[in-house]
Amino acid sequence: MGKKINGASIIWESLIQEGVDVVFGYPGGSIIHTYDALTKYKDKIHHVLVRHEQGATHMADGYARASGKVGVVIVTSGPGATNTITGLATAMMDSSPIVCICGQVGTMAIGGDAFQEVDVTGVTLPVTKHNYLVTDIKDLAATIREAFYVARTGRPGPVLVDVPRNVQIAEMEFEYPTDPINLLGYHPPERATAEVVAAASALINQAEKPVILAGHGVLLSGAMKEILDLCTKANIPVTTTLLGISGVPASHPLNIGMMGMHGEAAANHAIQEADLLIACGMRFDDRVTGNLKTYSPNSKKIHIDIDAAELNKNVKVDIGINTDLRTALQQINPSVTAKSHADWFAKIRDWQEDSNERDIINAQTPGFHASQAIRGIWEGTNGKAVVVSDVGQHQMLEAQYYPHDEPRTLLTSGGLGTMGFGLPAAIGASFCVKDKEVWVVVGDGSIQMNIQELGTAVQEKANVKICIINNGYLGMVRQWQQLFYGERYSETPISSPDYLKIAEAYGMPGYRVMKAEDTISTIRQAQAHQGPVLIEFMVEAHDMVYPMVSPGADLHNMIRRPYKQFDNEETF
């Protein structure tokens, strides 16, 4: 007979069994027993005390995206739990595996509007892959195990486990289940059928103007090699989604860059003119398709996705393959024949050349542009950092001006576009990224959404370098107002505190960069310091992100940067 332990200890024991060594959380009345039990497990699990539960979810998310492992959040009931909603929704949209353990009022009090009671499983139902309310200590360990399994398998996503107070207090012998998990209604798909594989490779072999659309699924399924095998074997250009960035090396000659609203013109034109799209682990989001009615009108479409509900959701496809991407490509690649696609590439290279001529980086323009700051960060980090971007113009510019060559080196909130993601996600990533620097690229609006996590960064001595791209505006919204709302800048000018004083107050070094020439030297100073550093880049207020597909417009109808810089921007 083993010794009895309480539910609180079972939570920690179960996490240890799942290989967890760091959790992100915040204590409170309904989870206090679990925090008390933590004192016994301090040598095995490091707890990161956040400043706001939203921060905890983004940290776990950043940790998961950087490592491929499940990130863990621990919070109390009521407001603690509701503060996680944005983070859960962010992880849900971007298929990021996290497990969130919530305290709940005692089972006898549930339903009675007890102090700090919220129907957490009800509230989080649409923003989690699955959730559980554990009402009996006997189910606790098995439920946590199942939560990890569901979070990391199939299409990954956030899973929440709600644990009432009395379940944490009750005692029983702990034994972690070891039998294979077999859920009646959950079976991630396995291999594609031979027929569908043959049909797909036949389409690929016939195509004259094929394009591979590489999404987050490349990274999630670890299909980096397989996708390169496919594109190099048949010389097929690859374009990535925002979350697909770093799944295919940016410097690879077949990688023609990001697609979509702020994608490369060449990539968007290629999609529109293609005769075959091979969509790999992506979901035809409206930000990448533009107007669906005119989207890639002459192409056949192959769509490989582990989530059957993605097939034919937005774009009708000729061949839908509901399998893990890596497995599917391993099945398809052997029957793909070598091709040069020389004419197709000649066309693509023309589009690319035109873009180069327009590029602001290649033009001698006055002022300090956000794009230059980001290109400077790329140079200063040799393109080797894990960059965590926030949401706005700086996010798109990061995607355009910081080419990523290694997998899982760009972490960003794509599907939900959650401002305030960057700093906490980077702190989370710093707990698993050991051989690379972690840099944050964040706007002056976004940093102020979760600026309190600077406290966490300092307390944890997290080695994150925070670059605030300060343009004095909620820039991306300002850009829309400039283009579509008659330049009425309604509530987009935003003031900032003195970030150097903020850095000082939190106890971290801070720098301000006023001109492009000073970027690299400042980066060097930041790199010399172990631990969090803040750098503020004072950039042009009215810069634009080009190209841009207006919301709902045809993908090939991009607003382009004029050849002669600033002709249209001098008016400001």
Partner 1 sequence: MKQILVAKVEDKPGVLNRVASLFRRRNFNIESLAVGHSEAENISRMTIVTDEVDALRRNVVRANLLKLINVIEVEDVTDLPCVVRETALIKVNADATRRREVMDLAEMYRGRIVDVANETLIVEITGESSKVDSLIDLLNPIGIAEIMRTGKIAMKRGVVTPRNGN
Ligand X SMILES: Cc1ncc(C[n+]2csc(CCOP(=O)(O)OP(=O)(O)O)c2C)c(N)n1
Q: Which spans of this chain sit near ligand X (rule: CB under 6 A)?
A: 390-394, 417-420, 443-446, 469, 471, 473-477
Helix (H) or strand (E) holding 131: strand 130-133
3: its two tokens: 């010794």
Give the closest residue to 158 by CA, choosing from 228, 244, 75, 90. Answer: 90
Using the rule CB under 8 A, give the single segment among 73-81, 179-187, 200-208, 386-394 that binds partner 1: 179-187
Is 521 a binder of partner 1 (CB under 8 A)? no
For ligand X, which is the closer residue by CB, 368 or 431? 368
* Separation between Cα atoms, residue 519 and residue 370, nearest integer Å: 11
For ligand X, which is the closer residue by CB, 186 or 480? 480
Applying CB under 8 A, which of residues 79, 111, 126, 497 lies at the interface with partner 1? 126
Q: How far is the CB of 474 from ligand X (least distance, A)?
A: 4
Binding mask 302-341 for partner 1 (x = CB under 8 A): -----xxx-xxx--x-------------------------
Is 124 a binder of partner 1 (CB under 8 A)? no
The item of ligand X, partner 1, none sharing an interface with residue 471, based on CB under 5 to 8 Å by kind, is: ligand X
User: What is the maximal distance between C-alpha atoms in the chain?
Assistant: 81
* Separation between Cα atoms, residue 207 and residue 174, nearest integer Å: 58
* Separation between Cα atoms, residue 344 and residue 347, nearest integer Å: 5
The item of partner 1, ligand X, none sharing an interface with residue 130, based on CB under 5 to 8 Å by kind, is: partner 1
Looking up tokens 């770093």 gives 246
The item of ligand X, partner 1, none sharing an interface with residue 311, based on CB under 5 to 8 Å by kind, is: partner 1
* Separation between Cα atoms, residue 98 and residue 66, nearest integer Å: 12
Q: How far is the CB of 222 from partner 1 (least distance, A)?
A: 22
For ligand X, which is the closer residue by CB, 394 or 404? 394
Give the closest residue to 305 by CA, choosing from 230, 417, 216, 207. Answer: 216
**In Å, how far are 83, 88, 109, 393, 421 from 97, measured between CA atoms?**
18, 10, 31, 27, 16
The item of partner 1, ligand X, none sharing an interface with residue 312, based on CB under 5 to 8 Å by kind, is: partner 1
* Separation between Cα atoms, residue 157 and residue 351, nearest integer Å: 37
Question: Which amino acid type is present at position 415?
Answer: G
281: its two tokens: 């682990």
For partner 1, which is the closer residue by CB, 147 or 503? 147
Q: How far is the CB of 157 from ligand X (least distance, A)?
A: 20
Is 193 a binder of partner 1 (CB under 8 A)? no
Is 525 a binder of partner 1 (CB under 8 A)? no
Backbone angles phi, psi at 565, to 5 degrees: -60, 140
The item of ligand X, partner 1, none sharing an interface with residue 392, based on CB under 5 to 8 Å by kind, is: ligand X
Helix residue ranges per DSSP H, 223-324: 224-234, 265-273, 286-289
The item of ligand X, partner 1, none sharing an interface with residue 76, based on CB under 5 to 8 Å by kind, is: none
Q: Beta-strand (E) ranges in 157-204?
A: 159-164, 171-173
Collapsing DSSP states into helix, strand and coil, what is residue 311? coil
Residue 307 in contact with residue 155, Cβ under 8 Å?
yes
Helix (H) or strand (E) holding 57: helix 53-67
For ligand X, which is the closer residue by CB, 417 or 531? 417
* Separation between Cα atoms, residue 320 and residue 283, nearest integer Å: 12
Subset of residues 249 to 308 that bind partner 1, contact rule: CB under 8 A: 307-308
The item of partner 1, ligand X, none sharing an interface with residue 476, based on CB under 5 to 8 Å by kind, is: ligand X
The item of ligand X, partner 1, none sharing an interface with residue 417, based on CB under 5 to 8 Å by kind, is: ligand X
Structure letter (DSSP) for residue 518: G
For partner 1, which is the closer residue by CB, 94 or 444? 94
Is 108 a binder of partner 1 (CB under 8 A)? no
For ligand X, which is the closer residue by CB, 276 or 360? 360
Applying CB under 8 A, which of residues 4, 40, 79, 125 lies at the interface with partner 1? 125
* Separation between Cα atoms, residue 273 and residue 271, nearest integer Å: 6
* Separation between Cα atoms, residue 348 and residue 95, nearest integer Å: 32
Q: How far is the CB of 445 from ligand X (least distance, A)?
A: 3
Subset of residues 131 to 150 that bind partner 1, contact rule: CB under 8 A: 133, 150
Q: How far is the CB of 94 from ligand X (least distance, A)?
A: 14
* Separation between Cα atoms, residue 384 and residue 552, nearest integer Å: 35
For partner 1, which is the closer residue by CB, 196 or 558? 196
Using the rule CB under 8 A, give the single segment among 177-185, 496-504, 515-523, 544-552 that binds partner 1: 177-185
* Separation between Cα atoms, residue 444 and residue 429, nearest integer Å: 21
Is 79 a binder of partner 1 (CB under 8 A)? no
Strands 438-443 and 255-258: what pairing? unpaired
Residues that bind partner 1 (CB under 8 A): 121-122, 125-126, 129-130, 133, 150, 183-186, 307-309, 311-313, 316
